[in-house]
Structure 1
Amino acid sequence: MSPDHVRLSVLDLVPVRTGQSTSEALAASVSLARVADRAGYHRYWVAEHHNMPSVAATNPAVLIAVIAGATERIRVGSGGVMLPNHAPLVVAEQFALLEAAHPGRIDLGIGRAPGSDPVTSWALRAGGSVEADAVNRFPEYVETVMAMMDPAGLPLDLQGRPYLLHATPSASSTPPVWLLGSSDYSARLAAELGLPYVFAHHFSGQGTAEMLALYRETFQPSPYASEPVTFLTVNVCVAQTDEEAQRLARPQELAMVALRTHGALQPQLTVEEAAEVSLPPEHEDLARAMRERWVIGSPETARAQIDELAERFAVDEVMVHPVAGSSAGSDRRRSPAREATLELLAGAAVPR
């Protein structure tokens, strides 16, 4: 694999910053997706997080419909749908319709984590138990979603009589299913089912090599993939200079420190607000450790770091999570620094 041919994709959590409404944050993500589409990025995935003041990506299927309708050729998918939060039939119906509306452009990435706090998880399940039900039945639910999206449907036996359950009446294609994870559980399951797999390197940053090796070594060929299929995710901030990129990455650093230390969650700070924040030494050490696993710098610096990551983990695709913060006076319906990250990186890259 030559690093000159690393394919680039995008992960978007639809961040909400100080003074920005949800409507404005969504408009900014649509603008970012159009930038990615024009710049030649391969995929644009959106996450699922709930009840967070800095994240508007609560419903991947709705976001995918909006973004796919606003772009022309880029693949659009979920990174990912948190399956324990949803009935498998609902997920299958949503993505069967998305695939019908945008054939060949939809990806269904599935995760096992709740993507929320325990109270919100309880509300998502209408007061039902997540741990005792959906999490424990996750492998079954994954296979159920895939079977219901398949044109053949899911065969059921109802008191000795056959019954077929279809996600949509007449599917002509189905979206590929990816398993996402930050532990060995999803790596083992993806290998067992013969599915594409992505380790959440942008979130964890530790154990990536071990999880990818486990997946590759135990992979079983299937109708979905004849060999292991995976890529790398990473937090990225690119600016004209290394120093400016470091400054723009600070709001995301502070947000992640708050999340990891159980601090107060709030809308993402502007770059100016973040520059005024002083952390305790132990929290600054945590921020520094996280920053070392991110890609931050000028286009040349960032491209070199992405090439090195691709070679180290033997992948030919890297999904970038653009984490550049916004200035106080910037257009609230756009994310100029995130857009610049994608444009500058694409200009230094040779996407396939």
Structure 2
Amino acid sequence: MSSRLPALSVLDLVPVRSDQTTGDAIAATLALARTADELGLERYWVAEHHNMPAVAATNPPVLIAMIAAATSRLRVGSGGVMLPNHAPLVVAEQFALLEAAYPGRIDLGIGRAPGSDPVTSWALRHGAGGVSDEAVTRFPEYVDNVLAMMDTEGVGLSVQGRTHLLRATPSARSVPTAWLLGSSDYSARLAAAKGLPYVFAHHFSGQGTREALALYRSTFRPSPELAEPRTFLTVNAAVAETAEEAYRRALPQLHSMLALRTGAPLAPQLLVEEAEKVELAPAHQEVVNAMAERWVIGAPDEARARIAALAEEHDVDEVMVHPVAGAHLGADPASSLTREDTLRLLAG
């Protein structure tokens, strides 16, 4: 089996630790993005999640603007914008402006899930019943609308018997690269049918990836934008000089995911020393152990070998790392040196 390391990228949820304010978490993310830029990584994507005490990635376009301004060569994008939460024109306008400001550096990753709890979904729709079934049902149409509105020539809309030209921005010269994201067969089929690049959320569960990518590749229809299937792999990773230290650093995120999956109250991400003091019930420890087995946790050589093996197994030449290493007690709140370590040690 080949040990060649694929191209590396970053997925960031902008985690908020127990020792951080939102401002601290953003400062730490900007420092991490600069590290990724310096290391020559490919792209840096931020997620969309709402009303979560440990996640500050609530507004991808705002974060993308900050990250692109703080870096010089990285592609910066959304992983992803949850389209049912937003009017297609708003998304098109946001990303057309970002592409105009940072041409050739912007990715628009689009997802179908609400990325929030039912109460927040209701609030996102201005109290009008939450994320409606219609918004989800019409998702393929909304994807088409976003792409058409971002086109440099604009799109003609028929209103009251007359056709009106609509452009997301007045004088575009290029458009962002659009990706479909998903964790089910649905998005794989849709991306293939539309000839769009596709990413399966392997980092979320680690299951179903092979089947989803095979479905995408086997049913792909070439489009003017993309002649062949294009995809990559996402994976949670914590890397340190020793495997033992890497596992310690992964504990806070493992506990956060445990709370999410068991319905426990959510809280800011624990520090390493706080997580080590938590005593888990045997059944919960089994869940943590199973998650840890699917993540890339270890010393540099071991972690790089795992990532190379995953890339070969799934036939991808890029892996997007979600750096999940938690911080130690006494760390600078405005930094995330352990997450930076993960990137530096992986990049070699």
- 1:186-237, CA deviations, whole angstroms, 9 ceiling, x for partnerless residues? 1010000000000000012100000000000000000121110000000000
Aligned partner letter, 1:58? T
- 1:150-202, CA deviations, whole angstroms, 9 ceiling, x for partnerless residues? 01212112233221111001110000100000011110100000000000000
Indicate the residue corresponding to 1:223 in structure 2: 224
Indicate the residue corresponding to 2:31 in structure 1: 31
The residue correspondences of 1:268-307 to structure 2 (distance < 5 A) are 268-307=269-308
The residue correspondences of 1:137-286 to structure 2 (distance < 5 A) are 137-286=138-287
- CA offset at residue 127 of structure 1? 1.5
Q: Secondary structure at the match of 2:144?
A: helix
Q: Secondary structure at the match of 1:234?
A: strand
Aligned partner letter, 1:311? E
- 1:114-136, CA deviations, whole angstroms, 9 ceiling, x for partnerless residues? 00000000000111242322111
Indicate the residue corresponding to 2:327 in structure 1: 326
Q: Secondary structure at the match of 1:331?
A: coil
Structure 2 length as normaliser, TM-score? 0.98
Asked whether the equivalents of residues 253 and 291 of structure 1 are also in contact (C-alpha less than 8 Å), the reply is yes
Asked whether the equivalents of residues 154 and 168 of structure 2 are also in contact (C-alpha less than 8 Å), the reply is yes
Aligned partner letter, 2:194? L
Indicate the residue corresponding to 1:45 in structure 2: 45
The residue correspondences of 1:122-141 to structure 2 (distance < 5 A) are 122-129=122-129, 130-141=131-142
- CA offset at residue 4 of structure 1? 2.0
Asked whether the equivalents of residues 80 and 108 of structure 1 are also in contact (C-alpha less than 8 Å), the reply is yes
CA RMSD after TM alignment: 1.0
Indicate the residue corresponding to 1:77 in structure 2: 77
Asked whether the equivalents of residues 238 and 324 of structure 1 are also in contact (C-alpha less than 8 Å), the reply is yes
Indicate the residue corresponding to 1:56 in structure 2: 56
Distance 1:310 1:27 in 2: 31
Q: Secondary structure at the match of 1:222?
A: coil
Cα distance, 1:102–1:2 mapped onto 2, change above 3 Å? farther
- CA offset at residue 19 of structure 1? 2.2
Aligned partner letter, 2:244? E
Asked whether the equivalents of residues 238 and 342 of structure 2 are also in contact (C-alpha less than 8 Å), the reply is yes
Asked whether the equivalents of residues 48 and 60 of structure 1 are also in contact (C-alpha less than 8 Å), the reply is yes
Structure 1 length as normaliser, TM-score? 0.97
Indicate the residue corresponding to 1:350 in structure 2: none
Distance 1:39 1:182 in 2: 29
Distance 2:91 2:152 in 1: 16
Asked whether the equivalents of residues 2 and 309 of structure 2 are also in contact (C-alpha less than 8 Å), the reply is no
- CA offset at residue 5 of structure 1? 5.2
% identity of equivalent residues:
69
Distance 1:12 1:297 in 2: 20
Distance 1:327 1:269 in 2: 9
Q: Secondary structure at the match of 1:235?
A: strand
Asked whether the equivalents of residues 3 and 316 of structure 1 are also in contact (C-alpha less than 8 Å), the reply is no
- CA offset at residue 95 of structure 1? 0.2
Distance 1:264 1:304 in 2: 36
Distance 2:161 2:121 in 1: 36
- CA offset at residue 3 of structure 1? 4.9
Residues matched between the structures, number? 347
- 1:35-72, CA deviations, whole angstroms, 9 ceiling, x for partnerless residues? 00000110000000000000000000000000000001
Aligned partner letter, 2:145? T
Indicate the residue corresponding to 2:10 in structure 1: 10
- CA offset at residue 343 of structure 1? 0.6
Range moving further from structure 2, 1-10 or 241-250: 1-10
Unaligned ranges ≥5, structure 1:
348-352
